[in-house]
Each structure stands twice: as structure tokens, then as C-alpha cells.
Amino acid sequence: MHDIQYSLTSRQPGTHIFNVSLTIAKPDPSGQILSLPNWIPGSYMIRDFSRNIISLQARSGDRKLAVQKLDKSSWRCEPTSGPLVLDYEVYAWDLSVRAAHLDETHGYFNGTSVFLCAQGQEGKPHVVELVRPAHPAALAWRVATALPELDAARYGFGRYIAADYDELIDHPVEMADFTLASFEACGVPHDVVITGRHRADMKRLVADLKCVCETQIRFFGEPAPFDRYIFQIMVVGNGYGGLEHRASTSLLCSRDDLPGSGEPQGNPGERYKTFLGLASHEYFHSWNVKRIKPAEFLPYDLRSESHTTLLWAFEGFTSYYDDLMLVRAGLISVNAYLELLGQQITRHLRTPGRFRQSVADSSFDAWTKYYKQDENSPNRIVSYYIKGSLVALCLDLKLRQLSDDRVSLDDVMRLLWERFGKVQKGVAEDDIRLLAEELSGADLRDFFALMLNSTEELPLQQLLEAQGLRYVLRPADSQSDTGGKPGQEPRAPRAVLGAKWIAGDGGASLQFVFDGGAAQAAGMSAGDIVVAVDGLRANATNLEKLLAAFAVGEAVEIHAFRRDELMRFRVLLGAAPADTCALLVPEDEAVKRLLERWTGNKA
Ligand code: ZN
């Protein structure tokens, strides 16, 4: 008999309601307190999962107990000596990797959405009985979760057990008639579980994921820190997202992101490459953030915001290694990798907010800024994912430069794993710099301060060129030019508005108006719907072409609706800035040797 036992089912999956019972054998005699997390680790925003609890009753034997609500996400039960049972309903209709979703086709949940925490008893083993819903559609369902089985068969309904509450909520559960494929990576069993209609080439998917996993396990050193791993994939028409866990990841992707029978051999197509990058990213988190953690996350405080200035290391470094692991695994070419890097630099250079916010501040304020973006975000914030990955690139190149290529960021990561991850010691603000200094013998205080605490440009060009690579900047060819490639030959500068738009309400709806651009100077604003340029009808598709007919510096009349009122602007068009980056490899033996050591592949 275990002290904490949940039973979870759904009496009517079509209502999107999970029915949960929690039995606490030894409740707090002064009145057991229960609570639900307000956020889920890995996604730094207060989400108030408790708003989806739509009923809650407590009983002891046949006796109904009073329950007092203490705040938005905690309750206190009337004192009782006997076992305390809570019966509650959870509404589950959030198709993301962060919450819970249930209908007749599947049931998915994170423990943070469905498992009330018995305060004071978090450290005890937690048992969960998953009961097959009594609905004909659920007859074919199986269960995919990395929660250890207590008496359930693998992929079966039945009882599972977690060592404590922290573990309980770190193993999401998928229940469906899913596609299942398995492989071993360095001796560890891995499952690929896909829910949703798809025609993916499972052989290709499994072969490629196996390469990614083996490359990463060998990077940190065997054995892997888990004894099994699951890629839980939800396939939809249009979606993208991932969340890391200690022995699994939940991924949301579009049907077309998975490799079909037409997927080219060798280098993957754009969409599949993005999917592999996402899978690689979440897998890398198994070490970097699930085990190597900021000191502030040991333990997590799931009641309120938990601020750390280190997300540039946990999300940024992971974003650096996700694509790098694809090239090291031999799944993409060195040139394809350099193209991805050029695109990442391009994204950064198109963010005016990099001059307004440091990456350490971006980390700290993730809760209210990065996770709550609006029309002005590009002007005021910098992404700790993107800039963080470029900080990783700079640090990697700097360490190679200082040590004649004997030391790299790889060594820093492995030392983080040895000294922090393996022994569950939290990483403090300066620890990464101290490791880099220890490995290189150099004083890196100014270098780190510049990259992390200032809004100065990163020394990307200088460091890349010191290694012999060519760093080329040019104006974008069009709004859809994502960079990474040399682009067309130089010609007359292109006239631009200094704004980004999407189709909307009969015109081109301005999504972002960039600081210092022509649109801003003319008084245009995000949300304006451009309907005419120089008296000619404009829409999202032709706006770029209409503007291209003008010269840089020329004045043009633009009509736009704001709050349904027609407004007229006189815009002095600007020149497209040189914000589009490509990294080129000259014919040079030293550069080839660097690329071989860096990417593990011949250029
Ligand atoms: Zn991440």
C-alpha cells in the first residue's frame, strides 16, 4: 500500500474531462493542503492550470469533508485521521505540449495539469493507476509514458509509480491508438510514438533519430542518464512545439514536417530538417536543464515565477547544439549547417531589441517579456534562444582560438555535466565563465560581460573571420529571404518600409514596425492595414513589389486603415539594411581542418 495514489480515467472523453481520484493514506492531521502547480518546468509563464479544475470533493470513508479554498491553486481539507480521498474533474482541451488534451481520439496530459500535490508529502512515492476510459473508441488505446510501471504492462493501462511528486509531473502520458516504433541508442531503448493521422516513413525517422541520440549520448559520455526514452509526437495540420522531460519529450508538429516516402535521401528537406532540429533540441535538454540546472530550479518553486539570468545557457546553448548535433550525426552537410548558422545570425540582426535588452535580462524577464510578446517585442527584447545560441558560438570559437583548438565549448558542456548535472548541483551565475576560464587559462570576465550583460554587438564577425570563415552581410532580397545564402549580385539598394506585414482584413496588416524604419518615422503603427500605395490597391502579396518601384529616399503616399478610419501617410522610403548573413568557406586547408574538428565532418 502506497501513501499517495491517484486513479485517472475519463467517463466521457468527448466532454474533455479527466476524472481523477487521489487517495492519501496519512493526511496531515491538522488539515491536508493540496495544490496544483501554476507553471510547468521548461515553459516560463504562469499558466494557472488550476483554472481547469471544475469540481473537487473530499471524503473519508463515507463521510464527506469540507474543503476550503486557500488561493487560486490550493485547498485545505477538513482534518481527518483516516485515508483522505479527493475526487475531482479536470477540463482538458489545450492542444499544446504544456497542458492536457482529451477527446475520443486520444488523451494526453502533463502531471502539472492533473495531479494535485499533497503538501508535505511530495517526497513520498506517488502511484498512478491509469484506467481505460469506458468508451468504444478507447478499446484500441495504448499508453505511452516514461513513468516506471508498478504492475502495468509496457504500453498498458494499469499502475505506474514515481519516486516523488517532482518525478510524477515530469513524465507526460499519451493514451491513444498511436503509431509505435522502437530503436536502441547506445543500448538504451527508445520509442517513437505518433498520434494523429500521418504517412511518415517510420524507417527513415527511426534511423535518423537513432543517429541524433547516439551522437548526443556519446557527446556527454555513456551511460545515458535514463534507462529508456520516448519521443511523444502529436501530428496536426499546422503546429510546432516541444517540451523537454527527464526521459521523454512531447513534440507537436505539422504532418508535412515528418519524412514522407518522397523525402530525399541524404540531406533532409527544409521541413524535416526543422523537425530533426526540434527533436535534437529537446533531447539535448535531457542533460542541459533537466539535469544540469540553474541553482534557482533546485528545487522548482511551481507556485510563482522562478527567475534565473541563465536561460541563455540552458535554452541558448541547447539551440546551438541542436543543429550542430545534426551535422555531427552526419544527417546534414557542413554547408547545410553553415546555412542554418547564417539564418540564425540573420534573425538576430533583424531584432532591433538587441540594443535595448541584454541576454541576461532577457532570461530574467522571460516570464513577462519573451513569453508575453506583442507588436513591439522585436524593438524591445532580445531572444535568449537566438542570442544565447550565438553566445555559445562566440564562446566556442573564442575557446578554440585561445587554446589553438585544444579546448572548445564541448569541454565546458562535459564539465558542466560532470560537476553539476551528475551530482545535482545547481549552476550559479558565474559558474560557466569559471569553467571556461579554468579550461582555457584566460581571464574571460570582460568577454562574458560584453556578451551577457551589455547590449553591444556580439563579436561574431571578428571571431568567425579569425578562424578563416567569410562573414558576408547583405540586404534581404525580399521579406521571405531568411538568409544563410550569398544571395543575388549587388544592384541598386531596395526601398523598404521598415515593417513586417501579414495578410489581414482586405490589405497588408502591419505586424511589426521597426525602430528607426521609414514606417515608424512616418507615424505608421503595428495593426495599420495598408490598402494603397501611391494610389494603387495594395495587399500583403503585392506590397513589396509596389514599394520596389520606388527609389530609396523617395516619398510615397500610403493609405491605411486604423480602427476603421482611413489614414494617409507620406513615407520617405528607406534602404533595405544589410541584415542578412551568409557564412562562406574559402578554399583553405586550415579552415577545412577547423570545420572537421568543429562539426566532425569533412567540408
Ligand atoms: Zn528548449
Which of 477, 522, 473 shows the shortest CA–CA distance to 499? 522
What is the CA(306)–ligand 1 centre distance, in A? 16
CA of 458 to the centre of ligand 1 (A): 22
DSSP 575-592: EPPS-EEEEE--S-HHHH
* Residue 315 Cα to ligand 1 middle (Å): 5
Residue 442 has pLDDT above 90, yes or no: yes
pTM of the model: 0.97
Nearest to 95 by CA among 245, 241, 257: 241
pLDDT tens across 89-139, in order? 999 999 999 999 999 999 999 999 999 999 999 999 999 999 999 999 999
- Rounded to 10°, the helix 386-402/589-599 angle is 120
How far is ligand 1, taken at its centre, from the CA of residue 93, in Å? Answer: 24
Tell me what pLDDT residue 41 has.
Answer: 98
Q: Which amino acid is at 598?
A: W
Q: How far is the CA of 367 from the centre of ligand 1 (A)?
A: 15
Between CA 239 and CA 255 the distance in angstroms is 9
- Cα 217 to averaged position of ligand 1 atoms, centre (Å): 18
Longest dimension (CA), the chain: 83
- The b-or-e profile of 438-469 (16+ CB within 10 A means b, else e) is ebbebebeebbebbbeeeeebebbebbeeebb
Q: Going by DSSP bridges, is the β-strand pair 188-195/229-236 parallel, antiparallel, or unpaired? A: parallel
Position 560 pLDDT exceeds 70: yes
Peptide linkage before 299 cis (omega within 30 of 0): yes
The residue to which cell 480515467 is assigned: 9
Q: Which residue type occupies 492?
A: A
CA of 109 to the centre of ligand 1 (A): 19
Q: Where are the alpha helices (DSSP H) in 490-554?
A: 518-521, 543-548
Residues pairing with 243 in the sheet? 250
With b meaning 16 or more CB within 10 Å and e meaning fewer, what string describes 42-80?
bbbbebebbebbeebebbbeeeebebeeeeebbbbbbeb
Instruction: Sheet with 17-24: list strands edge to edge.
Output: 63-65, 53-60, 84-91, 17-24, 4-9, 126-130, 158-162
Is pLDDT above 90 for 237?
yes
> Where is average pLDDT lowest: 317-331, 511-525, 589-603?
589-603
Q: What does the pLDDT read at residue 262?
A: 81
pLDDT tens digit string along 238-280? 999 999 999 999 999 999 999 998 888 888 999 999 999 999 9
pLDDT attached to residue 200: 96
d(CA 493, CA 512): 22
Question: How sure is the predictor about 569, in pLDDT bands with cuts at 50, 70 and 90?
Answer: very high
Cell (9 digits) for 358: 541584454
CA-CA distance, 398 to 26, in Å (whole number)?
57
- For residue 243, the CA-to-ligand 1 centroid distance in Å is 7
Side chain identity, residue 502: I
DSSP code string of 65-127: E-EEEEETTEEEEPP-SS-EEEEEEEE-B--SSSSEEESSSEEEE-HHHH--EETT-TTS-EE
Tens digits of residue pLDDT in 308-329: 999 999 999 999 999 999 999 9
> Which residue in this structure is represented by grid cell 552537410?
333
283 Cα–ligand 1 center, Å = 9
How far apart are alpha carbons 120 and 422 in whole angstroms? 27
To the nearest 10°, the Cα dihedral for 28, 29, 31, 32?
20
Q: What pLDDT score does 493 carry?
A: 84
Q: Do residues 39 and 300 make contact, with C-beta atoms less than 8 angstroms apart?
A: no
Q: How far is CA 237 from the centre of its chain?
A: 19
Q: End-to-end distance of the chain based on CA atoms, in angstroms?
A: 60
